[in-house]
């Protein structure tokens, strides 16, 4: 049953992310509250709270602007439903699926080869100088894609392959 709820919750967040590029706070609070309440009813409340707290692992990625705040909060919601330690596996699936989606997007673009060439040059410079060199941030937001795409695909993979919840 929890696997079905994970699919529904992540699908609704995915729809919000692709349509308005945000995940509404009311939705996050509602899904988080119901998840924690449900697990308290079945006697697994502390694991749900710890699982929700595990979503904050991605907070540094929000600070570095790799993820949006809604994406981090959504991992808290998924943690409340999946509980601990399943949320760790779920996070791994989601990150992996987002990597695949990002790779497909990169190679499908006209400048895909340039992106890889520039990354390789940047990596060599960082290794030679042994210093992190920040990449200039582009103002063009068209390179961004809804992170919930990979999260939803990760939840699907988790439920099919490893989700014994």
pLDDT tens for 96-118 read 999 999 888 888 877 777 877 88
State which residues form the domain around 129.
Answer: 2-162
Please state the rounded mean pLDDT for residues 12-25.
Answer: 94
Task: Please state the domain count of the chain.
Answer: 1
Polymer length in residues for the chain: 165
Please state the rounded mean pLDDT for residues 65-94.
Answer: 91
pLDDT tops 70 at residue 18: yes
What are the φ and ψ backbone dihedral angles of 97, each rounded to 5 degrees?
-65, -35
Q: Is the dihedral of CA 20, 100, 80, 69 positive or negative?
A: negative
Give ∠ CA 53-93-9 in degrees, rounded to 5. 60
Considering only residues 135 and 74, tell me which one the structure prediction assigns the higher pLDDT: 74
- Helices and strands counted in the chain (H then E): 8, 0
Predicted local confidence at residue 96, as pLDDT: 96
What are the φ and ψ backbone dihedral angles of 29, each rounded to 5 degrees?
-65, -45
């Amino acid at each position: 049953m929890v696997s079905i709820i994970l699919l529904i919750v992540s699908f609704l967040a995915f729809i919000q992310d692709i349509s308005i590029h945000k995940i509404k706070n009311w939705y996050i609070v509602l899904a988080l509250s119901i998840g924690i309440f449900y697990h308290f009813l079945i006697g697994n409340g502390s694991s749900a709270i710890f699982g929700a707290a595990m979503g904050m692992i991605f907070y540094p990625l929000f600070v570095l602007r790799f993820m949006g705040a809604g994406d981090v909060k959504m991992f808290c919601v998924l943690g409340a439903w999946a509980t601990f330690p399943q949320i760790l596996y779920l996070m791994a699936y989601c990150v992996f699926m987002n990597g695949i989606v990002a790779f497909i997007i990169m190679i499908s673009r006209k400048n895909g080869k340039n992106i890889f060439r520039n990354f390789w040059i940047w990596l060599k410079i960082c290794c030679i100088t042994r210093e992190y060199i920040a990449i200039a941030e582009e103002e063009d937001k068209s390179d961004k894609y809804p992170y919930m795409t990979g999260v939803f695909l990760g939840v699907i993979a988790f439920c099919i392959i490893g989700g014994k919840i």
